[in-house]
Structure 1
């Protein structure tokens, strides 16, 4: 079945435009609710959101949809995506729903769905929900309409769960940590968890106003974090994105450390302790060749998937890995979470920092990455990758690499962007090839 609404990470788009309208959110609630009405028990959905202005509108519309088909709704307010997945499972809910467009600007929003096991929905479940969206909903009799309630201790539950992933014998006393919450979903829970573990916390991006989420802050805009770390003399900085399922780190010198280096650190540490499962790491085609070589040097493997943390997790589950993620900072540690969790991943990094006694600049440089460049080209429609001129530019670039690098050109699954990436031994050539393909895409 053709996927008309679901992308690589739920449903996402510009608010008040299809598919991110209140009417569509209500239909999604009705369709998803109907799909998960299984068994004779009282059905329940856990509903969270980030801090976008449109979150109120989407939350109300989804509640209307779920309750109209007989589902009770538990609202948890602004909470990280992994917290919603955790609470859905721990509360024995039939469904978890997160209203967020992750790292996108505030004008966008999205709907992420989790099954009763806390995992993102399968392709089959998403296809079934899409089919239901095309039909008139089956509304329940008045006496069977669902109820909605808000729970006040959701933040505390998640903070406790996150802290339980940190080694019990360690503390963060004496460590100065800057945490950038992107004015998003983790603006309360992340600083609180770090403080409770003993860190000297400097919190930025913790003043959401509905429109400043990811605006010059967070994992996709680390300049503010870099400046704060160096100017405050902090030991390390951690940046989350709008829904806190992504992590980027800055060392004490203000240098950015991406997800590849973080996966290398965690996998290596877990391997030494005998805790690493699957014999390696699962990552996407975007991960640097340097990570692959680093793991091979330790007798470990790098299993690559297509872009999207759902595909990383699918491979982890089917092949028995417990560490996986994306260069962009989605890091999945399946011993602790069913989806990417920026705070939990950060706590693993901080544990290694405390244990090693090294400065972050030394600890976090696990390997020397090959020169790699990624650029995005925005487009307004059509199929620029099908243009003969673009195909010719790509073929020419591949020939010039002569097998000493990688080229990856793809359409984003969450935004109207063409992503162009090249990697190789020759940095100047990498830049030249990316620019030539981007110019061809723009012209097309």
Structure 2
């Protein structure tokens, strides 16, 4: 039986893969697992529940809230807020658990459920497995232990969450953004209100785009997966930089004044040197994944900053950061974790810190990001394949070996199954872009043929 939890919660097409019944059942199971330690005498467990603006989030939120309350958990419903806001509020309010309904950068028909433990931390595999085990036991017919009367959970809207989260973001900035003009692309998602408001309160002149969610337009030709609108707006308005979020705003990509993309590796480079200068880069170390561009690794070596690399996924970055006590980590995709101020990737915080570095130094973003040179990297998503066999197929292994032989010492190959979608990602890095494209194309064709 396939595991329900992927690399970032439970995700699928809403009302098909992810139904109201499943959302309710998982929430009851999560209440039993995550709130059980808080059910001592005199204490009522509390959950923070938020969502992105997807239309399906409305009925899924209702199911989650019903499930939690039926299990005796009081619910603080914060409405449409970013994933990192729900994580922050879970910790700040002393809640026993948090729940976020979002499918991040996925298309609108998808949705997902992410759980946070006390303190706003993502769940370890062991906790996810316990929730899934309890969910499956009761889905097969074993009755729940249900409270009655005054024992049922109470539900209230927590409208203060928006201002509390924005105030937190402003409070942790090292300096204000006065004099900067910034374009903010909200992806018609969870940060559509939060991010422009935070930048404005920090002193920037804000040009908002894609900040009118209607439940159907999230990530539609905008946000961190579609940067053209941001590029155009930055150039047209003469802004110093632009930032783009994904649907739940746990990631941030940027563009410089000329409209050139600044990816997660470059953002990490800029923040790492700024934090080292401020004495807040603990261990003089940055944590990233194996997907990071080779140019990032070379830049950190040249600057004397140690780079630790993990498996792909911000949860693995976070685990390594906690293990070693490090303060900065992230992914090329724009998940950046500043552990002194957030328990998970926070796209709005990342954008604010990047802009703060531009404001503090008076240097253009392009110059700051120029500390690293991106080597040509080609990423091809191969859909509709059996991603579970990518590590066991002899045919795929032979194709990878041949690709590595062609690249020699000047490049590398990485194949990995997506944690959230039915596809395999083929990444090829080389000193020459044409070679990277050729090798990646051949390898993607072989993956499709072998695993299709």
Fold conserved (TM > 0.5)?
Answer: yes
In the aligned structure 2, how far is the partner of 1:4 from the partner of 1:189?
A: 34
Pair 1:147 & 2:147 matched: no
In the aligned structure 2, how far is the partner of 1:88 from the partner of 1:280?
A: 28
In the aligned structure 2, how far is the partner of 1:331 from the partner of 1:356?
A: 21
In the aligned structure 2, how far is the partner of 1:281 from the partner of 1:383?
A: 31
Q: Which residue does the alignment assign to 1:22? A: 20
| TM-fit CA distance, 1:388 | 4.3
Q: Which residue does the alignment assign to 1:59? A: 61
Q: Which residue does the alignment assign to 1:295? A: 300
Q: Which residue does the alignment assign to 1:304? A: 309
Match among 252, 255, 277 for residue 250 of structure 1 = 255
Q: Which residue does the alignment assign to 1:281? A: 286
Q: Which residue does the alignment assign to 2:346? A: 341
Pair 1:418 & 2:417 matched: no
In the aligned structure 2, how far is the partner of 1:178 from the partner of 1:339?
A: 24
How many aligned positions are there? 440
After superposition, give the CA deviation of every residue in 1:210-254 in whole Å (9 maximum; x if it has no partner): 111011000111011001111111111000111111000010100
Pair 1:186 & 2:185 matched: no
Specify the SS of the correspondent of 1:127.
helix
| TM-fit CA distance, 1:381 | 4.5
In the aligned structure 1, how far is the partner of 2:145 from the partner of 2:272?
A: 48
User: More displaced, 37-46 or 78-87?
Assistant: 37-46
Match among 28, 31, 39 for residue 29 of structure 2 = 31
**How does 1:236-247 map onto structure 2 within 5 Å?**
236-247=241-252
Structure 1 unmatched ranges of 5 or more: none
Q: Which residue does the alignment assign to 1:111? A: 113
Pair 1:121 & 2:123 matched: yes
After superposition, give the CA deviation of every residue in 1:347-382 in whole Å (9 maximum; x if it has no partner): 111111011112222222221121111110111547
Instruction: Normalising by structure 2, report the TM-score.
Output: 0.95
1:360/1:279 Cα in 2 relative to 1: closer, same or farther (>3 Å)?
Answer: closer
After superposition, give the CA deviation of every residue in 1:160-193 in whole Å (9 maximum; x if it has no partner): 00101112xx332221110000000011111111
| TM-fit CA distance, 1:145 | 1.1
User: More displaced, 30-39 or 79-88?
Assistant: 30-39
Q: Which one has the bigger helix percentage?
A: 2
Do the aligned partners of 1:384 and 1:390 also contact (CA within 8 Å) in 2? no
After superposition, give the CA deviation of every residue in 1:380-410 in whole Å (9 maximum; x if it has no partner): 5475635444333222112212233211001
Do the aligned partners of 1:74 and 1:148 also contact (CA within 8 Å) in 2? yes
| TM-fit CA distance, 1:345 | 1.0
In the aligned structure 2, how far is the partner of 1:51 from the partner of 1:217?
A: 15
In the aligned structure 2, how far is the partner of 1:205 from the partner of 1:139?
A: 43
Structure 2 unmatched ranges of 5 or more: 139-143
In the aligned structure 2, how far is the partner of 1:333 from the partner of 1:251?
A: 22
Q: Which residue does the alignment assign to 2:73? A: 71
Q: Which residue does the alignment assign to 1:229? A: 234
In the aligned structure 2, how far is the partner of 1:350 from the partner of 1:143?
A: 50
Instruction: Normalising by structure 1, report the TM-score.
Output: 0.96
Q: Which residue does the alignment assign to 2:8? A: 9
Match among 332, 347, 353 for residue 358 of structure 2 = 353
Do the aligned partners of 2:387 and 2:423 also contact (CA within 8 Å) in 1? no
Q: Which residue does the alignment assign to 2:169? A: 162
After superposition, give the CA deviation of every residue in 1:57-84 in whole Å (9 maximum; x if it has no partner): 1100111111111111110000011110
Match among 365, 379, 402 for residue 396 of structure 1 = 402
In the aligned structure 2, how far is the partner of 1:420 from the partner of 1:406?
A: 11
In the aligned structure 2, how far is the partner of 1:142 from the partner of 1:378?
A: 50
Q: RMSD between aligned alpha carbons?
A: 1.4
| TM-fit CA distance, 1:3 | 6.2
1:237/1:378 Cα in 2 relative to 1: closer, same or farther (>3 Å)?
Answer: same
Q: Which residue does the alignment assign to 2:371? A: 366
Specify the SS of the correspondent of 1:403.
helix
In the aligned structure 2, how far is the partner of 1:244 from the partner of 1:383?
A: 29
Do the aligned partners of 1:181 and 1:241 also contact (CA within 8 Å) in 2? yes
Q: Which runs of 4+ in 1 moved over 4 A?
A: 380-384
In the aligned structure 2, how far is the partner of 1:133 from the partner of 1:399?
A: 47
Do the aligned partners of 2:385 and 2:424 also contact (CA within 8 Å) in 1? no
1:405/1:33 Cα in 2 relative to 1: closer, same or farther (>3 Å)?
Answer: same
